[in-house]
């Protein structure tokens, strides 16, 4: 596919087919991720890729911890705190798009909790990825890691695969860190679901709006 088509068609997929993803396909998208730009070629970030029982075991532990009501233990702030009103409106609109598509009402607290737990099941995708970065990396390296994650997503899209980033994994980063036996210098950043999109899953029809160009870009010197 052309790049603009990949960017246009990419979306967060939360409904996957149970089909296994061949190891060679996973390796190809991981190699593509590593081609992303990197300041001083430090190539920050690692991808811990699980499938089968290793993924199921991690998912069970994460779900049990999240369902227990234990407060999150995050090592970095994903969202601004407090959330400005204009950004809160975007967050609410995204949530409404998801839950309304699933028929979960605004006051259905249990339904919303159940859906949120799907993050820790990696949305039942056949492949789950835990993304980490060295704690001593500077803030700019998070930007480089973000570009690598996007490169992975686009490479997956190009190969007929689908992805969904899982920022919620950072809420229980300590669980993932201990389960995977990561070194102390590694910090868990996020997760990702990878697999083949289920064309019959209603949740995959969710679309969120993007800001118009004039709201996020300033062009100067053009005729």
Question: What is the distance between the alpha carbons of residues 194 and 20, in angstroms, rounded to a whole number?
Answer: 10
| CA 143 to chain CA mean position, Å | 15
Question: What is the distance between the alpha carbons of residues 48 and 119, in angstroms, rounded to a whole number?
Answer: 17
- Quick check: 10 and 208 in contact, CB under 8 A? no
- Quick check: 130 and 169 in contact, CB under 8 A? yes
pLDDT tens digit sequence for 87-137: 999 999 999 999 999 999 989 999 999 999 999 999 999 999 999 999 999
pLDDT tens digit sequence for 26-71: 999 999 999 999 999 999 999 999 999 999 999 999 999 999 989 9
pLDDT tens digit sequence for 171-221: 999 999 999 999 999 999 999 999 999 999 999 999 999 999 999 999 999
Q: Which two tokens stand for residue 199?
A: 């064309």
User: Terminus-to-terminus CA distance in the chain, angstroms?
Assistant: 32
Question: What is the distance between the alpha carbons of residues 45 and 36, in angstroms, rounded to a whole number?
Answer: 11
Could you tell me the domains of the chain? Answer: 3-206 (3.40.109.10)
Task: Check residue 20 and report its DSSP letter.
Answer: P
């Amino acid at each position: 596919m052309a790049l603009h088509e990949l960017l246009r068609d990419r979306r967060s997929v939360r409904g996957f087919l149970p089909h296994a993803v061949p190891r060679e396909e996973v390796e190809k998208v991981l190699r593509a991720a590593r081609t992303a730009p990197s300041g001083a070629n430090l190539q920050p970030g690692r991808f811990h890729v699980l499938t089968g029982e290793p993924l199921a075991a991690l998912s069970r532990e994460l779900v049990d911890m999240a369902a227990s009501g234990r407060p999150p233990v995050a090592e970095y702030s994903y969202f601004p705190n407090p959330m400005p009103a204009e950004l809160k409106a975007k967050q609410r609109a995204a949530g409404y798009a998801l839950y309304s598509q699933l028929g979960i009402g605004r006051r259905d607290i249990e339904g919303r909790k159940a859906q949120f737990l799907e993050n820790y099941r990696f949305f039942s995708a056949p492949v789950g990825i835990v993304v980490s970065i060295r704690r001593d990396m500077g803030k700019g390296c998070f930007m480089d890691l973000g570009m690598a994650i996007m490169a992975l997503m686009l490479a997956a899209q190009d190969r007929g695969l689908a992805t969904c980033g899982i920022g919620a994994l950072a809420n229980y980063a300590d669980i993932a860190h201990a389960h995977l036996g990561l070194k102390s210098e590694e910090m868990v950043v996020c997760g990702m679901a990878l697999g083949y999109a289920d064309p019959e899953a209603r949740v995959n029809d969710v679309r969120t709006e993007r800001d118009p160009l004039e709201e996020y870009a300033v062009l100067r010197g053009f005729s």
